[in-house]
Chains A and B, each alone.
Chain A
Amino acid sequence: MISYINTLYLIYGLLITLSYVVLALISARALYDYITLNKFVSYEALLSSSNAPPLSLIAPAYNEEKTIIENIRSLLSLHYNNLEIIIVNDGSKDQTFQKVLEAYSMKPVPFFLRTAVSCKPIRGIYKSTNPAYGKLLFVDKENGGKADALNAGINVSSFDIICCIDVDCIIEQDGLLKMVKPFMESKEPVIAVGGVVRIANSCEIEDGRLIKTHVPREIIPRFQVIEYLRAFLMGRMGWSRMNALLLISGALGMFDKKIAIAVGGYNHKTVGEDMELVVRMRRYMTENKKPYRVVYIPDPLCWTEAPSDYKILGRQRNRWMRGTMETLWAHRKIFFNPKYGILGWLSFPYWTFFEWMAPLVEATGLIYFLVLIGLGFDNWSLFILLSATVYFSSIAISFLALLFEELTYHQYQSKRETFLLVITAIIEPFLFHPRSAWWGVRGNIDKIRGQKSWGEMTRTGFVRPQKQ
């Protein structure tokens, strides 16, 4: 009996390793194609063309008084002509509302609201009296959570493509131009586009713009740099290539508004509203037998401040796990359902077995091993063999992600910083991964207990460049 359980754990470890290798290979090809072929793309035509699709950028804000002014200024400096920027104040309890009104000379306007998706009541809509901020629309509403705020933004938006972002992210100046391109170049309709999110801790930011990138000085965000590189450059690129991507990060995603409205907008009842919306949109298109694509682009378009203490990071990961569980459960019909094609046969099973179950398997594996020790059946040799297999393969995969970054975007330019990342990749499986698995397990426990909150996320703010 014990030997069979051992075999199961070993096979699971091997399968997960194999899946990473396959994804890495597919991503490598996708990245190569993207980089070589997009080297010659000029976005000038898009900037000047009257045929460039107009965009509505929606950024919900909740208790952002410390950074909201600078964040809006950063959004106003984005390179895109036909753009409206909608800031949704989701019933902030601090001075967010007052600060925006004062800083941007906002006045209430009589707005005829057409409710396409449900959201909490809107208290007022404001426009700036200063023509320099003509693109800006400020919505004040009752608190209802991020999904609800995004739905309010959808209701007031004027254009057919919406870009939903986290207000505290820094979007690259040409980020919107790059994200709009897939909507225009694909023969099949593109329903959603995602961009790579990078860690901005220790990077130099001035006037809401990224001046210089650095590897985070603190170890916790540095672990996340490795994690994000693996997830974005190696994972999502591969899924996108197979048109099997289930998740577009809530920090930056562009959507076809008509489809988003047709499926009812963001779901208020989940804490993983970003993944849930993409899955629902994909499901809608498949069920209505419409061809479509969900595209991911590897350019570093969005920079975000990662949690730098374990407590806040734990809350974030706990929420991500609950969001994953809620989405997988809500759309369980897709699971191994041939009607949904690659979604049913590959994406959904992968997320179920390797994203949701992986922390549980790791935790039960550890408990099982401890029980065996207690019963005098300890098997150190198998434990070491399995751990070594997973450890060395995970290091190889992290190094591959670092090489991908070096060959493509080369964001970290000093040799010292690259060395720091190499060392971080070596120690990450010991110092970070066990905690990450534990947060996943806690997410499962909290979900079973009925926990629905987001958990408070505090940020320390970005680094300013030193004055000469």
Chain B
Amino acid sequence: MGSTAIILQQRIPTWSDVWDLVHYTKFNLPGWASEPLLWICTSIIAISILFSVVLLIALYSYRFRTQYRLRRRRELEKSYLLLLTGIIFDEPEEGVEQSKAKLVRHFRNIYLDDSFNRKILRKQLLTLHRNFSGSACTILRNLYLELQLEKESLKKLKSPMVNKRIQAIRELSRMHVHAASDRIRKLTRHSNRLLRNEAQLAMLELDKENAFSFLDDNLQHLSEWDQMNLETTAHRTQGLVIPDFTKWFYEPNPSVVQFCIRMCVQNNQFEASDGLIKLLSSSEEKVVRQSIQALGELMIDDAVPSLISLYRKKQVAFGSDILKTLSKIGGDQVIRFLQNRYEEGNDQEAFEAASALKYTGEAGMMLLEKAGAHAANRSSLIAQHLLNPYLQP
């Protein structure tokens, strides 16, 4: 009916015409289902067509926008690089201060009225700052401050978007903007893990005296990834005041304890040995494992009886770690124990014990060589495997 009317009147069909067409067509559906199902189907078709057109427009407009921005970015980066390396490397005729003032004016007059230009400049300054050291870094930092780019970073710190806040923290910490310390410190306990970790990393740069204060009463989980980043950054940061990490050994948060054990190892805090031995009886599996490894790294002789006793109790859970740790500590008692497990244990245990024996030193190696020279039994096969020069880890 609707279609006939359209043809007769020669006009563009409206939504009601389409609906009329669908409505009066025989679909052979039960009466109760006919109306809603037809309505749903026609709506899906209409929405899909409309949505497809919108998606195509979005796809191509995004493509054009990205390409335009990329082109602009490349041009800007080229100009910035020329100006910035000029002030870092060239000996200006009119003196450093005048030359810098000229550059600041130049940036202000030509580039800084546009947010995209400022964004690229911030990125460029940060990249160069990361790649240089010494006076070049100071020049770049001063330029960042004189151009008041830190104001924008501080503004971004309040953004509701986590990624923008992370970016701001990174900019402020790399450029050592100490004025932002208090605000960033508050974020070290934020509910978002990535933001929290970024803030913790920033504190290592911004508050070297008290960088690890975020560990106090910290109940939020420090993932292995966070711990590794903190550990690596702490290792690289110059002038960082290293606290006694054993003071956090009894925190209720196991991930904090685990991190502190790692830091004890990194900083050779041998005084942690008693605490580490006590932590072997912790109910947290990760803490126990970390303590076992730390005792090996720090080569704590006193830990041998506790480790052997733990091995006998909880061989399944920590057996491999304990054997590795024992191999690092060495000594007669350890060799006797490892030899026993090598001969008496199951295949996996025997292999791990023999592998540990190999690293205990000359005595262990001699035992393996002796076993390897024998006829083909299990011990000799293990010894041959471990002594083969191509199968070294």
- Residues of chain A touching chain B, judged by Cβ–Cβ distance below 8 Å, are 2-4, 6-7, 10-11, 14, 17, 36-37, 39-40, 45-46, 48-49, 51-52, 107, 109-112, 114, 127-129, 134, 158, 181, 183-187, 377, 379, 381-382, 385-386, 388-389, 392-393, 395-396, 399-400, 402-403, 406-407, 410, 415, 418, 422
Contacts and interface: CB of A to CB of B under 8 A. Distances in A.
Interface in B279-295: none
B27 A385 contact: yes
Contacts of B163: 36-37, 39-40
B29 A45 contact: no
Interface of B: 22, 25-30, 33, 37-38, 40-42, 44-45, 47-49, 51-52, 55-56, 58-60, 62-63, 66, 161-163, 166-167, 170, 193-194, 198, 221, 223-229, 231-233, 262, 347-348, 351, 378, 381-382, 384-386, 388, 390-393
B55 A7 contact: no
A7 B37 contact: yes
B41 A381 contact: no
A396 B45 CA distance: 10
A7 B33 contact: yes
5 contacts: A40-B198, A158-B393, A185-B224, A379-B28, A396-B55
Contacts of A114: 347-348, 351
Given A184-B228, A393-B44, A381 B52 contact: no
Nearest to A107: B390
Given A184-B225, A422-B56, A109 B262 contact: no
A114 B391 CA distance: 15
Contacts, number: 155
Contacts of A112: 347, 351, 378, 381-382, 384-386
A11 B47 CA distance: 18
A355 to B, nearest CB: 21
A40 B162 CA distance: 11
Contacts of B22: 385
Given A40-B167, A49-B232, A110 B44 contact: no
B351 A379 contact: no
Given A14-B41, A37-B163, A185-B224, A403 B59 contact: yes
A111 B391 contact: yes
Of all A-B residue pairs in the complex, the 10 with the closest CB atoms, nearest first, are: A392-B48, A127-B390, A185-B225, A184-B224, A110-B384, A112-B385, A399-B55, A45-B232, A184-B225, A36-B163
Contacts of B378: 112
A37 to B, nearest CB: 5
Contacts of B30: 3-4, 7
Nearest to A414: B63
Tell me the dominant secondary structure on chain B's binding face.
Answer: helix
Residue of A2, A396, A402, A418 with highest tally of chain B CB at under 10 A = A396
Contacts of B166: 37, 40
Nearest to B41: A389
A109 B391 contact: yes
B59 A418 contact: yes
Given A3-B30, A45-B233, A399-B52, 11 more contacts: A14-B37, A37-B194, A158-B393, A185-B224, A185-B225, A185-B226, A386-B41, A389-B41, A392-B49, A396-B55, A418-B60
Nearest to B223: A185
A3 B225 contact: no
B58 A403 contact: yes
B359 to A, nearest CB: 15
A300 B39 CA distance: 40
Residue of B29, B48, B227, B231 with highest tally of chain A CB at under 10 A = B48
Contacts of A7: 29-30, 33, 37
Nearest to B384: A110
Contacts of A128: 390
A156 B48 CA distance: 52
A112 B66 CA distance: 56
Contacts of B47: 396
A386 B25 CA distance: 14
Contacts of A51: 224, 227-228, 231, 262
Nearest to A402: B59
A109 B387 CA distance: 10
Contacts of A4: 30
Contacts of A49: 228, 231-232
B57 to A, nearest CB: 10
A109 B351 contact: no
A134 B59 CA distance: 47
A393 B41 CA distance: 10
A185 B229 CA distance: 11
Contacts of B66: 410
A422 B229 CA distance: 42
Contacts of B60: 415, 418
Nearest to B32: A7
Contacts of A46: 228
A381 B225 contact: no
A192 to B, nearest CB: 17
A254 to B, nearest CB: 15
B203 to A, nearest CB: 17
A415 B67 CA distance: 11
A362 to B, nearest CB: 17
Contact of B63 (A6, A36, A134, A406): A406
A444 to B, nearest CB: 28
A96 B80 CA distance: 54
A109 B390 contact: yes
A337 to B, nearest CB: 30
Contact of B44 (A17, A185, A422): A17
B236 to A, nearest CB: 9
Given A14-B40, A109-B388, A381-B26, A48 B56 contact: no
Contacts of B25: 381
A113 B27 CA distance: 68
B37 A395 contact: no
A6 B31 CA distance: 12
A7 B40 CA distance: 13
A185 B193 contact: yes
A389 B27 contact: no
A122 to B, nearest CB: 14
Contacts of A184: 223-225, 228
B391 A127 contact: yes
A396 B167 contact: no
Contacts of A385: 22, 27, 38, 41-42
B62 A10 contact: no
Contact of A129 (B26, B63, B194, B390): B390
Contacts of A389: 41, 44-45
A386 B227 CA distance: 55
B256 to A, nearest CB: 13
Contacts of B231: 49, 51
Given A45-B229, A392-B45, A393-B48, A6 B27 contact: yes
B62 A407 contact: yes
Contacts of B62: 403, 406-407
A389 B41 CA distance: 6
